[in-house]
Amino acid sequence: MNEDQFRSTYKKAVDSMNPSEEMKKGLLAKMEQHQETKRPRKTIFIAASIVLAAGIGLASPTIWNQLNGPASPAEVAQVDPGTSGTGGAASAGSVVIPKLKLPDSSSGVKASMIALVVYKGNIYTQSATRIEAADAAALRGDRLGRTTGGIDELSGKDEYTELSSNIGETDIYTVKGYDSGFLIMSYSEIDGQVFAELYEHTNGITVNSGADLIGKLNLEGRIASAQWESFDSWNNGLQQYAPLSGSETLDGFLSALLAAKPLAAEPLIAQGIYDSEDRKVIYLELQDKTRVQLVLFGQGLVRYGDAPVFFEVESGAFQALWNSMEQ
């Protein structure tokens, strides 16, 4: 079963799972409790659909762009720039990523959500790193517990308790070879089908270089294969992947990426970095079968997932890789 088939099967399974129905019932109940906000029922279900789409990894380029583009003032997973991070020590040039700001349910503000799990007081969001269902069991580590579900766009801070989530009830595990402070896995088997997703903790940290975020993916020396995709292909969902040639060029790029200077995402987004189509996407399949996605921007910047930070890679190493991806 390839990735697309898996995601299609996954969506069908999730659509038939009780938690989805419970989520809808919960939203309806909360809507009745919040009638004073006079939120249209249609809006509620649209929000729920966004939650579900992100939760099963089916986010379209539009949603992906929304999540990676300018943050909406009403987004639940919003960064509070006024809060200090709890990661490594900050120094000149470091980027502090505060903990995700929890919603204020009394505000009545419309909110959208991405898939999340609360573990050890931190919010883990759906990872930009993927794993095929068939390969997930080999990476499954120690069982950490079972999520309770129930988090939605109307949930208050007091509902973000340990192992609460918006992905329904599922078991959570560590991931072999990775720090559980960074990466965890949801894993369930239903009628012989495996459903697994990775969740990462990329907030409440201080980033001094690429190593403080990209380094947690353990890329060096573990690349089994590498591909790239043009912006046009990605933007239109064409999935026209081409192999990345030149292992030395890729190795040099990755080394430079780990040493890269971090830049806060917000100013770059405000300046319109996502308005340009001068982008390429690379996909790195590691020896453990995980698939890491990195977005390269023509001005020499790299971004991983939704973490609000870009990395400015040494120009020689960046251009060598960029130029190798000519069509």
The pLDDT of residue 53 is 31
Both tokens of residue 217? 């993916």
Half-sphere exposure of 133 (CA within 13 A, CB side): 19
The crossing angle, in degrees rounded to 10, of helices 61-68 and 41-55 is 90
Distance of alpha carbon 61 from alpha carbon 71, whole angstroms: 16
Least confident of 63-77, 159-173, 254-268, 286-300: 63-77
> To the nearest whole number, what is the mean pLDDT of the chain?
78
Cβ burial, residue 139 (10 Å; 0-12/13-18/19+)? buried
Helix (H) or strand (E) holding 152: none
Both tokens of residue 15? 């659509």
Report the percent of the chain where pLDDT is more than 90.
Answer: 60
Sorting pLDDT into bands at 50, 70 and 90, what band is 306? confident
Q: Could you tell me which residues are beta bridge partners of residue 297?
A: 279, 301
Sorting pLDDT into bands at 50, 70 and 90, what band is 28? very low
**Helix locations, 56-190, DSSP H:** 61-68, 133-139
| 171-175/309-312 β-pairing | unpaired
Write out 191-210 in H/E/C secondary structure: CCEEEEEEEECCCCEEECCH
Both tokens of residue 85? 């991070």
The pLDDT of residue 114 is 83
Beta strands across the sheet bearing 140-146: 116-119, 122-126, 193-200, 183-190, 171-175, 140-146
Query: At residue 314, does pLDDT exceed 60?
Result: yes
Q: Residue range 289-303: average pLDDT?
A: 97
Q: CB under 8 Å to 61, separation ≥6 — which residues?
A: 234, 235, 236, 237
Helix (H) or strand (E) holding 251: helix 247-258
Contact of 230 with 280, CB cutoff 8 Å: yes
Q: Could you tell me which residues are beta bridge partners of residue 140?
A: 175
The crossing angle, in degrees rounded to 10, of helices 247-258 and 315-324 is 140
Closest by CA to 24, choosing from 56, 46, 55, is 46
Distance of alpha carbon 106 from alpha carbon 225, whole angstroms: 49
Q: Could you tell me which residues are beta bridge partners of residue 97?
A: 205
Query: At residue 2, does pLDDT exceed 60?
Result: no
Least confident of 17-31, 35-49, 83-97, 190-204: 35-49
Q: What is the pLDDT of residues 85-130, one digit of tens each?
A: 444 566 778 999 988 766 655 555 444 578 999 999 999 999 999 9
